[in-house]
Amino acid sequence: MSGKGDIVTGIKNRIQSAVANVLPAGVLARQHRKMAEPGTAKS
């Protein structure tokens, strides 16, 4: 919020962070909902 940069490790996380700055909030909410659904965790 203050314009300061964040440190993001991992290529997948870097891509998600970059895309999050471009996509509308509704699209991000749908993606998060899919990732947070019960039964989606990797075991």
The two three-digit tokens of residue 28, written as one number: 């991000």
pTM metric for this prediction:
0.52
Structural domain for 22, as ranges? 10-35
Number of domains in the chain: 1
The two three-digit tokens of residue 9, written as one number: 């490790």
Residue 16 placed within a domain: yes
- pLDDT, residue 43, reads 63
Residue 2 placed within a domain: no
Residue 17 placed within a domain: yes
Residue 4 placed within a domain: no
- Enter the DSSP assignment of 42: -
Residue 18 placed within a domain: yes
What string of pLDDT tens digits covers the 43 residues of the chain?
Answer: 677 777 778 888 888 888 888 999 999 899 889 888 888 777 6
**Strand, coil or helix: 24:** coil
The residue type found at 25 is A
Residue 5 placed within a domain: no
